[in-house]
Structure 1
């Protein structure tokens, strides 16, 4: 069983501005602590056989300058790989949609150990602005919700290397997590952009429909 509330509250969510290679950019920032040492988290995020156990099967040349492709997901080029602290890649779903993802790792402060993971997904400002024009802030909320699911999968895998992501698909637990995730990203959008309550509710519902189509988005 997943402790949904703890998993939602484990992630810090933030929306802001971050330059990308092409100029001005917008970013989503996620931060959480994993109960695993930094080398274990690094290995899970960089070794093909382990990536396939919690994210998706991956093909490519996994070294700086090499390219990669996640099955049924994004592909790109590895820009930096500084063990065990930094991974930076381009992240593209198609022509004209190339963005950048940076993962930063650091030992967690305090006596309990663990690893702080920060994931920042930065996109050219024109891509985000067009997404918002087309779909309102729901598109941004949906991207954040997708990353929440990714970080959930990593946590479950680090606690149980026999974890099978397929076992969670279409389960009530996953739908509740996705619903609450979209609500949490809605709050981040409101903080960043001052979105009105009615527009925010519509945006959260739009994003929730993608990940949890049977949910209403009204759970508290």
Structure 2
């Protein structure tokens, strides 16, 4: 199946933001549960365990990565049901993520942002987030689970070619 990449690269003046959006016919509270409750994150990203809260660290299993590794995620901000900010570090580097929800008339937009220091590796990172966000869509609406092969390497040239736009 051919997928269309949706990510944008924004120049924030102090770095770069990789931004991807998804829209759901659901309340912000319901979408919030999909991105914060362990049994629901397990369906599209992986489960987590620990005592969650701002400034605390939880363990997250990357359930759809090779070897299903566990990683620590620091909760930088948690403002239900509007904003979740996390930071993680692994052998690939530091991951600073922010998920913002906005609801209008029962339709919720998820704005997923990875705050970047450099464009290095964006050709791999962008398709990965497209895949995971489409897994979230599939987990919520019961549609077929996407295949990573539909995202990478197919979307790599798109992401490698992104130029930062002023936000």
TM-score, normalization: structure 2?
0.79
Q: CA RMSD in A?
A: 2.7
User: Which residues of 2 match residues 120-199 of structure 1 at below 5 A?
Assistant: 120-125=113-118, 128=119, 132=120, 139-160=121-142, 168=145, 174-179=147-152, 182-183=155-156, 186-192=157-163
Larger Rg: 1
Unaligned runs of 5+ in 2: 62-68
Q: 1:154 to 1:181 in 2, by over 3 A?
A: farther
Larger fraction in helix: 1
Q: State the shift of 1:45 in Å.
A: 0.6
Q: Which has the higher contact order (CA 8 A, sep 6+)?
A: 2
1:87 corresponds to 2:77: no
Q: 1:13 to 1:62 in 2, by over 3 A?
A: same
Match of 2:18 in 1: 28
1:12 corresponds to 2:6: yes
Match of 1:118 in 2: 111
- State the number of aligned residues: 157
TM-score, normalization: structure 1?
0.61
CA distance in 2, matches of 1:77, 1:182: 29
CA distance in 1, matches of 2:126, 2:154: 8
Q: State the shift of 1:55 in Å.
A: 1.0
Q: State the shift of 1:189 in Å.
A: 3.8
SS of structure 1 residue aligned to 2:26:
coil
Q: State the shift of 1:13 in Å.
A: 1.1
Q: 1:119 to 1:181 in 2, by over 3 A?
A: farther
Q: Is the 8 A contact 1:27 1:122 kept in 2?
A: yes
